Amino acid sequence: MTDPVSRTILLLDIEKYSDRDDVEQAYLRRMLYDITDRALESAGIDERLRLRADRGDSVMELIDANAPVTALLRALLTEVPAQLRAVNRAASSSAQIRLRGVVATGYVAVDAYDGWVGSDLNHACRLLDARLLRAALRERPDDFALCVSESVHAGIVRHGHPGIPATGFHPVTVDSKNGPLRAWLHGPVPHGADDHGERGEAQAPGGSGERPAPGAGASGAPEEPGAAPGNVVFNFGGGSPSFGGSLVAGDQHGVSGGQVTGDVHLGRNGGEPA
């Protein structure tokens, strides 16, 4: 395993990706990566400063620590919403794309199997899968919900840099296997969320906590296991969180709408809804 290196961590995930058919999923993937590339380019972060993991319905970027986080946050707050509006304005109702995003910082190592390892990365993935962030996107009329880690808020957001309004971020706490995880949500905190952001709207067992995909029935009926093609499993070892709605080890609450146990995988496993 390589020595841990300081990185900025960017995670983006498509809401209700696995409710779509193959053609729609292929389109949504193209839009996700196009939006990600444009946002990073507008922040002055070219491919030489990035490592990408393709998770199908999600993308994970490890960004060189020398790249300015301020520029990245400004791009996420302005460029990504503008791109989503433009894409969705021209897309059919079944091809609308809505995203959850997380920005964090920390140390990440690469193991012998090209796996990415680090507790800071684990925490970022837990934030991405938190019910609170899913509920925030579900309750908003726009198409993007962003959460930043405590370290990003302390080092960047709270100082009120141009284009990054400190008052637009609100403290939240997410329950995790290792205890409460503090973060900062951009925009209003979901209605009815408790101090840990885990109460939210009631949902069916095994549900993702997201509203039904565009073009889906109002009931948002769950898919049959294994329905989504191209599933990818990225194993980070025991104790890691899920990414994109997969299995999470330990007695953790609030991930994909329920309590689950078992081995830890990063990615989407066995067609579990994102």
pLDDT in tens, 28-77: 899 999 999 999 999 999 889 998 887 767 899 999 999 999 999 999 99
Measured CA to CA in angstroms, residue 236 lies from 131, 166, 256 at distances of 22, 33, 18
Higher-confidence residue: 222 or 180? 180
* Mean pLDDT to the nearest integer, 19-25: 84
Measured CA to CA in angstroms, residue 195 lies from 108, 146, 155, 156, 172 at distances of 29, 18, 23, 24, 7
Amino acid at 247: L
* Mean pLDDT to the nearest integer, 114-126: 85
| pLDDT of 17 above 90 | no
Q: What is the 3-state secondary structure (H, E, C) of 223-253?
A: CCCCCCCCCCEECCCCCCCCECCCCCCCCEE
Give the model's pLDDT for residue 112: 72
Give the model's pLDDT for residue 199: 38
Higher-confidence residue: 16 or 150? 150
Give the model's pLDDT for residue 142: 86
Higher-confidence residue: 85 or 215? 85
Give the model's pLDDT for residue 191: 79
Residues 211 and 91 sit within 8 Å (Cβ to Cβ): no
Strands 5-14, 99-110: pairing is antiparallel
Give the model's pLDDT for residue 132: 93
Determine whether 61 is exposed, middle or buried from the number of CB atoms within 10 Å of its CB (0-12, 13-18, 19+).
buried
Give the model's pLDDT for residue 192: 61
| pLDDT of 136 above 70 | yes
* Mean pLDDT to the nearest integer, 99-126: 87
Higher-confidence residue: 90 or 8? 8
pLDDT digits (tens, 9 = 90+) for 180-206: 899 999 999 997 654 344 333 333 333
Walk me through the domains of the chain, giving residue ranges and CATH numbers: 5-220 (3.30.70.1230)
| pLDDT of 89 above 80 | yes
Give the model's pLDDT for residue 85: 93
| pLDDT of 162 above 90 | yes
